Each structure stands twice: as structure tokens, then as C-alpha cells.
Structure 1
Amino acid sequence: MTSHYRSAFAPGLLHGRVIVVTGGGSGIGRCTAHELASLGAHVVLIGRNLAKLQDTAGEIVADGGRASFHACDIRHEDTVRTVVTAIVGAHGRIDGLVNNAGGQYITPLENISAKGWQAVIDTNLTGGFLMARECYVQSMQERGGSIVNIVADMWGSMPGMGHSGAARAGMVNFTETAALEWARSGVRVNAVAPGYIASSGMDHYPPEAGDMLRAMRKTVPAGRFGNEAETSAAIAFLLSPAAAFISGTVLRVDGARPQARMGWPMELPDAQAQQRPAVRPYDGFHLAQTPRVFQDK
């Protein structure tokens, strides 16, 4: 393990950029913030847990990067507007937004209450819309920018998480619509759809879900879970100048899982095949933490 983030991209790629990362205190958001900072960006961490934001910002600064943070519940319109105003006031602009904050719980559709449904929709769809709208209106409309919305592998269905699937599908359509409407301002809007990623978010699922979570890799043609750094690399690419002609699309980071089909035998790669250069896991995040469900298993 190295003492600094090992990005696949050129040093200084995002030098001077101001990039907001929601849900930046843990999981994919934390990893992404580290990578963007390692590439020269000033990352602004957004989240509800102030202690986690402080810890992540401290890690980034200790590594020589630049970071600041704001406590914010993205579901509340006035709060989002105030926080974005503060960011623009402090930095003069917002160049990028990673709409990563989200969450859901496992339950069948018939057991989801209206309150539970609305809470997931507000977190995974409405909150992302509010953040994107305010970043656009308060900065990007005049200066341009790039937005990356984090969705999920919800193609076909999302059993056990129907509320999240509906919200993520809505965010994909929002991504496509915003890419069209905001192109006139020099704003690109894309999405990244992580599949089964070994992230700290899995620690929020109940212990009884452990066996199911551990078995999920067998449904992935790549034969394994992805990691946070592999997701962050996709986000960094879409924020970078190399993606200047990419907008309105979804980049899936899922090991071909949605392509699995009944009736076609799943031939998982063996350990030797999984170490071949084209598919070997990319371990760029020096502070990555293995989810508890996979520890000692």
C-alpha cells in the first residue's frame, strides 16, 4: 500500500478546479474526493455527518491536497441553496459536481411505506436535482462545468430495493435532460452506474443480509466485486478534459453484470484469469477499507 492515492490519470489533470462531492465523508464519495484532490482539485465535501466530513478533509490535507466541507441535508431546498451560495462565495465558482449522496434499505415493495418510499426518492433523486440545479444557476450557467450523477445497476429491475431503482432510473433521465438543456452553457452532465462495489455502504445493511451479499459476486461475469477506486476512476474521467465530447451518457462500472442471462451458463473466471492485466482489480485508494461483511470470510 502506498502513502498517497495512486490515480491512473496524469498529475495535475484537475489543477485549480473546484469540485463538490456530496456524500463525501464515506464510501465511494470519500474515495472520489481523495482521487480528485490528488489530481489537483480543491474538493468541497458535502454530507450530513460533520465528523465524517472533517475526518475525510483531514486525510486529504494530510496527503497534501486541498479540501473543505459543509454539513448539508441535500433533501432540503433552502439548505442546498445556502450551501452552494457559500461555496461560490468562498471559491468564486464551482467547476464540477459529483452527485454521490444516496441511500436505501432492503425491503420488498409491499412492505415499503409512503414515508419510506418518499425518503429514498428525496435522497436519491430530488436531492441530486437540487444540488445540480443550484450549482448550475449559481455558477455553471455563466462559467460552464461538469456534473456526474451516481446512480446504480437498476437495468431490468432492482428487487428488494424498488424505491431506489425508481429513483435511480429517474436520475438517469434527469441526466439526459440536463445534458440537453444545459449544453448551451458549456455544461456536461453524465452519470456513473456502479454495480456490486465493495464499499462501506454495505456496512449499513442488516447482518442477515451477509450471506446474500457475499454470494452476489457469483452473478457477476467478472467473478468479483468492484472496488471504490474503480468507480472513482470513471468519475474522474468524466470530469476531465478527455471527456469534453461526452454528455448525457451513463458509464457502467459493473463487470458486465447486467448482461447475465438465464439460460446462458455463467462461467466465472478462475483466480489466474482474474489477475490478467485487462481485468485485474485496480487498487488505487491507499486508505480503502474492506466492508465488514467481507472481513475474515
Structure 2
Amino acid sequence: MKLLENQVAVITGANRGIGKAIASAFAAQGASVALCARNGDSLQQTATELQATGADILARVCDVSQESQVEQLFAAVTERFGRVDILVNNAGAFDGGPLDELSLEAWNNVIDSCLTGTFLCSRAAFRLMKPRRSGRILNIGSISAQRPREGSCPYAAAKFGVWGLTQATALDGRPYGITCSCLHPGNVLVERRIESGLKSDDEPMMQPESIARAALAMVTLPADVNFLEAIVLPRDQAYLGRG
């Protein structure tokens, strides 16, 4: 029997990068997967690729920072699958720069995508999980939630918030059999890094599939066990003592 057979997973930001890798790993282990992202073209391409493997896939365009769109997403998931067993909050945005030069628009874009979106999706999933007294919520954080870099105020603040939200959600979910965990990736070679030129040749990187393997381990523990927090980073990446 596959590890996620008969499970329904919702994955946000699932059109590429970490989200796509997690969706692929979960589908390969038998899960029915609901994918959402803002970019409809790349979302449909990912859905088509996964469906070609025989996976049961639902794809919906959704901006997770918009309450009405999140509610519509979970209504569609409920109509199609009848429940939600796993939610992976992966959607987010990155912006930064010197604090005195940051615009409010840049700040709001990151906070809304990373933190408000995580809250809205967690709330929607929680409402479906609570009557069934079971469910797992996995938030994708960042090592920036613990050791920020210079020029990353919006992202660091958002990811610190995600880690705090994770702990509060775990407490609220405890009486109802709902676990909430946070996975903090280090450097991952995702499309954004490649397209923006953020990757230097000597900077250690992981593939998204490494994060997907960790995510799968965290959501497939026994129901009474919570893998509360994990840090996954390239062996050679500066983390302890990073500046």
C-alpha cells in the first residue's frame, strides 16, 4: 500500500518549484492532489504532467491572499473529494532591499502571500478537518525565520510569522486530532532563483525534490505524532554563524 493512498492533499503554489515537487511526491504515493497557484498556464501544465502518471488531480487558479478565492478553492476541493486530509501551505513571494528603501507595496505583497495566505488556507482546511478530528497542515517556512539575511525585512518577518502561526495552529488543533508542522528550507534551486540571477556559481543549492522527501516524511508519521519543525539545507550552506 502506498504511503498516502486514500488521502486528499491540497498544495498551494503547486505550479512549480517546491510546490510542484511536493505535489509529484504525494501523487506518486497515492494521494489525490488539489493544486492551486496564481499562474493558470503553468498550473495547468503541472496538472497535465501529473495526470499523465495516473494521479487524481484537481487544479484551481487561486490567489491565497484573497479570502473569497481561498473559500472557492476549498469549496471545489470539498465538492470533488469530500474532505481534506493534508494541507501544504507553500505559496509565497519574495521581495527585499534596504529597510529605508522598501515600499509598502513590496511589504504587503510578501506578507499577504506568505503569511495571510497561510492563515486563510489553514483556517479553511481546519474547518473541514475539525469535524473529522484528523488532519495535517504543513507550512513551508524558511531558515530566514531563524537567521535572516540583510535586506530581507518583508520575507524574514513573514516567515517568522509563519513559524509562530504554526505553533498556534498546532495548539488549536491538538484537541481535534489536527497537527501543524513547519518545514524550513535552505537554498533550493527553484525557477525564481534561476530567472532572477539570485544564484551564484559557488552557492550550495538543493533540488526541490529534497524538500519534497522531507515533506513526505513529515506527513506520513502516525496520526498521534507531530514532526513539529524541520530544517533542511545543503550540507555546505552557511547557517550556523551565517551573516
CA-CA distance at 1:17 after TM superposition = 0.6
Percent identity between matched residues is 30
Q: 1-side partners of 2:189 and 2:109: how far apart?
A: 24
- Bigger Rg, structure 1 or 2: 1
Q: 2-side partners of 1:130 and 1:261: how far apart?
A: 32
CA-CA distance at 1:201 after TM superposition = 2.4
Q: 2-side partners of 1:176 and 1:34: how far apart?
A: 27
Alpha-carbon spacing, 1:107–1:19, altered in 2? closer, same or farther (3 Å): same
Q: Within the alignment, does 1:250 sit opposite 2:241 as a pair?
A: no
Aligned partner of 1:8 in structure 2 is none
Q: Report matched runs for 1:62-101 at 5 Å.
A: 62-101=52-91
CA-CA distance at 1:64 after TM superposition = 2.1
Q: Within the alignment, does 1:174 sit opposite 2:180 as a pair?
A: no
Aligned partner of 1:201 in structure 2 is 192
Q: 1-side partners of 2:101 and 2:194: how far apart?
A: 22
Q: Within the alignment, does 1:214 sit opposite 2:201 as a pair?
A: yes
For structure 1, which runs of at least 5 residues remain unmatched after alignment? 1-10, 218-223, 263-297
Aligned partner of 1:192 in structure 2 is 183
- 8 Å CA contact 1:237–1:243 kept in 2: the answer is no
- Aligned pair partner of 2:210 in 230, 236, 240: 230
CA-CA distance at 1:63 after TM superposition = 1.6
For structure 2, which runs of at least 5 residues remain unmatched after alignment? none
TM-score normalised by length of structure 1:
0.76
- 8 Å CA contact 1:151–1:168 kept in 2: the answer is yes
Q: Which amino acid aligns with 1:141?
A: K
Aligned partner of 2:240 in structure 1 is 259
Superposed CA offset, 1:45-86 (max 9, x none): 011111111111111111222211111110111111121112
Q: Within the alignment, does 1:19 sit opposite 2:9 as a pair?
A: yes
Q: Within the alignment, does 1:162 sit opposite 2:153 as a pair?
A: yes
Q: Which amino acid aligns with 2:94?
A: Q
Aligned partner of 2:104 in structure 1 is 114
Alpha-carbon spacing, 1:261–1:58, altered in 2? closer, same or farther (3 Å): closer
Superposed CA offset, 1:179-232 (max 9, x none): 011111110100111101111121342x4x45xx333x2xxxxxx311111100
Q: 1-side partners of 2:96 and 2:242: how far apart?
A: 23
Q: 2-side partners of 1:13 and 1:40: how far apart?
A: 7
- Aligned pair partner of 1:239 in 219, 223, 226: 219
- 8 Å CA contact 2:114–2:159 kept in 1: the answer is yes
Aligned CA-pair RMSD: 1.7
Alpha-carbon spacing, 1:69–1:201, altered in 2? closer, same or farther (3 Å): same
- 8 Å CA contact 1:188–1:246 kept in 2: the answer is yes
**What is the total number of aligned residue pairs between the two structures?**
239
Aligned partner of 1:36 in structure 2 is 26
TM-score normalised by length of structure 2:
0.93
Superposed CA offset, 1:134-193 (max 9, x none): 1111x1111210010001111232322210000000000000010011111110100111
SS, match of residue 103 in structure 1: coil
